[in-house]
Structure 1
């Protein structure tokens, strides 16, 4: 049950995030739907490739495709005056998607009895893969590669699940809320990882 709910939350959040980015870039309606769908399912596709699940498993998620399409439609039809703060809402939905999908990806790898390293990789790729594809298609610098803390939160999800710290539904939902909150704090207060720039 936890798996399904997290998948649904992540799908809605990333579909909305992709649609908002597409509208920011002034894409037409087809571009909005394509970017929303790619954002919602890109991370899962990359994860499946790397941990040995057939990519075709994505096509069995008919309900999630319908949910993603409905979410994108709702955002596209939303009144403009309520979408004035696109950047803020885009970041918030991206934070929800990152947290939900990182946990879902880690659970996926853990249930397949993969080692801790694979659980962490699955968490990072599922949590940030869709966002990376979205940003590349929108010709933006991917969030996960910037100094602002992003992928670290997905790594924490992988560690918590791989080390069996979060096992029960209550623990997983608590982890979801904590990671979402940390991501919101990291972009609100511009927490950054150390970075080194080469002189010109």
Structure 2
């Protein structure tokens, strides 16, 4: 990969890292407050949601987990975002609940692209780039839901992880190389996720439970 392209991707990487961190940190904080956690629980869920996917990704693609502690800027952003969510007026939080799926889609899209770029910079094959995109996009949310005693969103709701996988595929194949293309992908993933919610698109499923 040429140096110019690497520099370009790194700028996009930073942008999507910030967007994803804010969206998921606030998502985790709101879920914690729904479950009536105290302020410590709110911060734990906020930080876990923001960084859980990245930690899982790093373990699987060979990046030291300790790199998390070098991300001082993102830790500060997550802490501030969580604190803001904690002190928001209740009517604002209720408004958040009405658009929660939208912010969750923002986090999914941002972190999926971030994870794909991360794996691409390490020269991993397309399959690994796709896995990195999915794990980064959904990992934090899965940990959040499990800690909150909920069935993970990715396993029970409308099409979710598939859109992260699509982002990883496009980036892994090298079809997207400019800022505009990355931003367009970011918007497309959000739109597809919101279409999934609005039209209730679901993957095929089968239940072995008896009716009645």
TM-score (norm 2): 0.91
The runs of at least 4 aligned residues of structure 1 exceeding 6 Å deviation read none
Equivalent-residue separation in structure 1 for 2:209 and 2:77 (angstroms): 48
Name 1:171's counterpart in structure 2: 181
* Stretches of structure 1 lacking an aligned partner (at least 5 in a row): none
Name 2:190's counterpart in structure 1: 180
- Is the CA contact (8 Å cut-off) linking 1:17 and 1:91 kept in structure 2? no
Moved more, 181-190 or 148-157: 181-190
Deviation at 1:129, TM superposition (A): 0.3
Q: 2:127 aligns with which of 111, 117, 123?
A: 117
Q: 1:93 aligns with which of 103, 106, 109?
A: 103
Equivalent-residue separation in structure 1 for 2:134 and 2:26 (angstroms): 20
Q: Does 1:140 align with 2:153?
A: no
Deviation at 1:86, TM superposition (A): 4.0
Equivalent-residue separation in structure 2 for 1:53 and 1:87 (angstroms): 35
Deviation at 1:82, TM superposition (A): 1.7
Equivalent-residue separation in structure 1 for 2:19 and 2:157 (angstroms): 26
Equivalent-residue separation in structure 2 for 1:107 and 1:76 (angstroms): 32
- Is the CA contact (8 Å cut-off) linking 1:147 and 1:194 kept in structure 2? no
Alignment root-mean-square deviation, CA? 1.1
What is the number of residues matched between the two proteins? 200
Q: Does 1:21 align with 2:18?
A: no
Name 1:42's counterpart in structure 2: 52
Larger Cα-atom Rg? 2
CA displacement, residues 104-123 of structure 1 (integer Å, 9 cap, x when unaligned): 00011111110111000000
Equivalent-residue separation in structure 2 for 1:145 and 1:67 (angstroms): 29
